[in-house]
Chain A
Amino acid sequence: MTGAFSTATIIVGLVIALWALVYLLIKRPVDRYLQAGTLLLAAMFVVLAIGGIVQMVGADQEFARAEFVGYLLLSPLIPLGGWWWAKNDESRWGSGVILVVGLVMPVLVVRIQQVWAGV
């Protein structure tokens, strides 16, 4: 849960946030490349959820398991929902939506890691 893959999800989230911020500032709507990036982020969270649950089944330590699973299962919905909401927006604010998604996801990874560690 604290391995290279979760670090990669944090980095991809931040890259997408930065990318969307640039689009927002130059008043560009979301294009298909940024859409693809957002879907990639969603896919990474699906992988994280599967990996996390598999790891949890084999783990002995005490932590809030229901909370952990809740975070893992709900987190892919945010980039998916953001993608869907942004792709229907022809203004630059579609990029604003993706900016929010890109910033929230790394925070979620950190929170998931905290739950895993029993914080």
Chain B
Amino acid sequence: MSKALATNQGFGRVLVVLYAIFAIGATARSVLQLATRFDEAPVAYVLSAFAAVVYVVATVALARGDRTSNRIAFIAIAIEMAGVLIVGTISLLLPEYFPRASVWSTYGSGYLFIPLVLPFIGLWWLRKVAKSEPTH
């Protein structure tokens, strides 16, 4: 039996850094958008703000790495996955709601599709960590 993994150790460190970069970037961008030009694209900007909150929660939960945090991280990353898939699809079907891009528009194509790949890696990692825990 290999020793129990933690979400904030090993490969998890790389994931925390990726999430942290998106959390910082999305939060900063969103504060700026809401403060200076909310009227241009309210839907896209509110979604950007929501995405920023999701990234912050996921980052903190992954970095903490205890059992409760893992559950919170799972929920946050599941919302993130749903968000990027739903917003990505809507932004293609109804582009008039997205005159300005949000992080999740067209599946995160403005960010090298990292927003699309990240939640899949995140859920895979949480599952791997959960499996490594000794069963009581």
B115: min CB distance to chain A, Å: 14
- A70 sits at the interface (CB 8 A): yes
Interface size on B, residues (CB 8 A): 17
- Does more than half of chain B's interface fall in helix, strand or loop, or is it mixed? helix
Pair B13/A93 contact, Cβ less than 8 Å: yes
Pair A97/B14 contact, Cβ less than 8 Å: yes
- B82 sits at the interface (CB 8 A): no
Of the residues B13, B24, B28, B36, contact of A85 by C-beta under 8 Å: B13
Q: Pick the interface stretch among B15-23, B44-52, B126-134.
A: B15-23
- A67 sits at the interface (CB 8 A): yes
CB-defined A-B contacts under 8 Å, sample of 22: A66-B36, A67-B32, A70-B28, A70-B29, A74-B24, A74-B25, A77-B24, A78-B21, A81-B17, A85-B13, A85-B16, A85-B17, A86-B13, A89-B13, A93-B13, A94-B13, A97-B13, A97-B17, A100-B14, A100-B17, A101-B17, A104-B21
User: Taking beta carbons and an 8 Å cutoff, which residues of A are in contact with B?
Assistant: 66-67, 70, 74, 77-78, 81-82, 85-86, 89, 91, 93-94, 96-97, 99-101, 104
User: Taking beta carbons and an 8 Å cutoff, which residues of B are in contact with A?
Assistant: 9-14, 16-18, 20-21, 24-25, 28-29, 32, 36
